[in-house]
Amino acid sequence: MNENMQELETENTQTVENAETDVSVNEMLEENPMAAKRRQWSSFVEGPAADFFTGYKLEKMMIDDGSGNKAKFSRTKDDGIKVEYTSAVLL
């Protein structure tokens, strides 16, 4: 029974933490939507796009979202990954 109580307490704590995170993300989006878009692009480039590049063992890759955001991936001589990316902002 104690194990069940501990599990419920853990779930409740995680729910509260998730709710606090959601609020802070929403506040950031309301404050500066352009900054949020730049973060979304950089998160995509450094996350799923980088995973695709490494997963398929590519030598070079360029991506463009059609809205001015671009990224260029390339392999270095020591088998590292070099990533250059930009994000366009209209004011």
What is the tens place of the pLDDT at every residue in 33-71? 777 777 889 999 999 999 999 999 999 999 999 988 999
Look at residue 75 in the predicted model and tell me its pLDDT. Answer: 96
Say if residues 49 and 71 touch (Cβ distance below 8 Å).
Answer: yes
Tell me the C-alpha distance between 43 and 4, whole Å: 37
Same-domain pairing of 44 and 8:
no
Helix or strand (DSSP H, E) at 39: helix 33-44
Same-domain pairing of 27 and 44:
no
**Residue labelled with tokens 């950089």:** 42
Provide the residue range defining the domain that includes 3.
Answer: 1-31
pLDDT in tens, 6-38: 554 544 444 444 444 444 555 544 567 777 777
Same-domain pairing of 22 and 6:
yes
Tell me the C-alpha distance between 15 and 38, whole Å: 28
Look at residue 27 in the predicted model and tell me its pLDDT. Answer: 55
What is the number of domains present in the chain? Answer: 2
Residue 83 reports pLDDT greater than 60: yes
Tell me the C-alpha distance between 16 and 10, whole Å: 10
Look at residue 37 in the predicted model and tell me its pLDDT. Answer: 76
Same-domain pairing of 26 and 37:
no
